[in-house]
Amino acid sequence: MPNRTTDALFQLIQSMERAEKRNFKLYMTRNTTSGNLKVIELFDALDKMKQYDEAVLLKKNKRIQKPQLSNLKAHLYHEILASIRLLKQGENIDLQLHEQLDFARILYNKGLYLQSLKILDKIKEVAKANNQVTYIQQVLFLEKKIETLHITRSMQDRAESLCNEVDETNARLSVISSLSNYSLLLYGWYIKNGHARHEEDKAELDVYFKDPVFQDAGLYKGFYEKLYLYQCYCWYAFINQDFLMYYRYTQKWVDLFHTEPKMIEIETAHYIKGMHNLLSAHVDLRNYRKFNETIQVFEKFIQTPVVQENQNNLIQTFTYLYTAKLNKHFMEGTFSKGLYLVPEIEAKLKEYELFLDRHRILVFYYKFASLYFGCGEYDKSIDYLNKIINLKVDLRIDLQCYARLLHLIAHYELGNDDILEYLLKSVYRFMAKMQNLSTAEEAVFTFLRKAFSSSTKKVKPLFEELLEKLKGLKDQPLENRAFMYLDIVSWLESKIQQKPVQTIIRQKFLENKKRGATPA
């Protein structure tokens, strides 16, 4: 797991590219004071370290004394950011606009009002062309200040025009702010709870959509208004397992960027997230053809400079591309073929451990466990499930619950009868405490209680009885959650037919592919 409490300066240095490090050295040597020499020495020491250890740092660098370390680190942190800003300012629209705003303020402070206004006009033009509404607001604020305090001999209706622009911009920002808030709240709800468990959860989410901001959705023309609106409906549909609605809004999300391609470079992370959700929607709908088409588009995009030259984008695309690759093996029932991905992903998890959040790693561990379970390698599956179970329960309650349930079934498959009774009670108590027991899960626990105490001959009718019960629940929206995390139906069919579970899933995939089933 990543060390989330690692030193911030060390983390920043480890994230730097070779060009950024070289530029920093040039930046610092312009003024080679004794203080700066110590800063460079500290930079070199931290750059060489594999893990941050203050005691080792001080022992190996005698010129750096413990009382001065805190100030040196703060100074170095600031200088690194300043050097990177100079290097990267042409690559990011925010940095470009911010720089121009700084120039406009400098000119204003020198009393050069007309020059300042000229720059502000240019900033406004660029900001509008790139949907940067917050910068338009800042420009208008300074324009109003100049017009209010100084005689600029502007056009006669300048005051009225400015006021109208301010009102229009503030109205847009209010909508964007509200929609982005709801998008964040919905996504935060999912990260904490997972999918909706019962009608109370759904009612809790429905409250958000009573806000008037959703009633005027058809009137929104701006990029960010549409982006956050689509995200709101995307999270809502996903949480409630309305996968057709989820697909439609993820497609709108991605199409929004394809309609305005320049926004892919400006809001790359949002585009990457949209592609990830579109791939996930195709998986949920078993839309194999469109999944393959979308993953090809995504892989081609990953090779572009906007990803390759940005570490954050590289990390995000790694996460979502490999998630999609694992999902492809789950869909196709090729679990054994997918095992080669595990060491590849683990190597990347190690490489990016300073930058990945626990949620992403938990999801990978669960997918690894599911992959090994599907191959019949239950010991390996249990190893990854234990990594999830042993973590503090503070996010993805659903994942914690299903990890325990899959862990229980893996022990059942291994015939570990001595611990099954204890595990059964423990998992049931945990899921009940987390309010994570649906009708489908209650049926699974009832089956397991009977199966544990039944002979091999008597257990087959129990498998058949549970299978019929679950098939009747599978199409109920709030019951579908159980089948997303654990393909219990295919597992039951594998036990009844005495075939490996991946063989059952592979047969279903080939039958669906032959029929050419494609969701609307």
Are 21 and 69 contained in the same domain? Answer: yes
Same domain assignment for residues 77 and 118? no
DSSP state of 220: -
pLDDT attached to residue 195: 82
Rounded Cα gap, residues 185 and 188, in angstroms = 5
Q: What is the DSSP string of 309-372?
A: T-HHHHHHHHHHHHHHHHHHHHHHT-HHHHTTHHHHHHHHHHHTTTT--HHHHHHHHHHHHHHH
The domain boundary, picked from 68, 88, 108, lies at 88
Shared domain for 42 and 103, answered yes or no, is no
Query: Is residue 98 located within the same domain as residue 48?
Result: no
- Rg over alpha carbons for the chain, rounded to the nearest Å, is 28
Does residue 376 lie in a domain region?
Answer: no
Q: What is the pLDDT of residue 43?
A: 93
User: Domain check: are 78 and 111 in the same one?
Assistant: no
Residues 53 and 112 in one domain: no
Residue 150 lies in a domain: yes
Q: Are residues 79 and 103 in the same domain?
A: no
* Contact criterion met (CB below 8 Å) for 342 and 322: no
**Nearest of 38, 74, 75 to residue 58 by alpha carbon:** 38
Residues 61 and 109 in one domain: no
Residue 57 lies in a domain: yes
Q: Is 29 exposed, middle or buried (0-12, 13-18, 19+ CB in 10 A)?
A: exposed
Tokens linked to 183: 């998008």
Say whether both 81 and 15 belong to one domain. yes
Residue finishing a domain among 69, 88, 107? 88
- Give the dihedral of Cα atoms 187, 188, 189, 190; nearest 10 deg: 50
In a domain, 114, yes or no: yes
Q: Under a CB-based contact definition with an 8 Å cutoff, are residues 317 and 302 in contact?
A: yes
> Do 84 and 101 belong together in one domain?
no
Are 76 and 99 in contact by the 8 Å Cβ rule? The answer is no
| 311 in any annotated domain | no
Which tens digits make up the pLDDT trace of 218-257?
888 999 999 999 999 999 999 998 999 999 999 999 999 9
Residue 45, domain extent: 8-88
If one counts the domains in the chain, the total is 2
Give Dmax (Cα) for the chain: 96
Predicted confidence at residue 364, as pLDDT, reads 94
Residues 50 and 102 in one domain: no
Q: What is the pLDDT of residue 518?
A: 47
My answer on whether 99 and 117 are in the same domain is yes
Task: Give me the average pLDDT of each 10-residue run along the chain (520 residues).
Answer: 66 89 87 70 91 89 88 92 85 88 93 91 94 94 86 68 91 95 93 82 92 88 95 95 94 97 95 96 92 96 93 93 95 94 95 84 92 94 92 71 88 88 86 73 82 78 85 69 74 88 90 64
32: in domain: yes
Question: Is 165 part of a structural domain of the chain?
Answer: no
Q: 110, 129, 154: which is the final residue of a domain?
A: 154
Whether residue 147 lies inside any domain: the answer is: yes
Q: Within a 10 A sphere around the Cβ of 71, how many other Cβ atoms?
A: 10
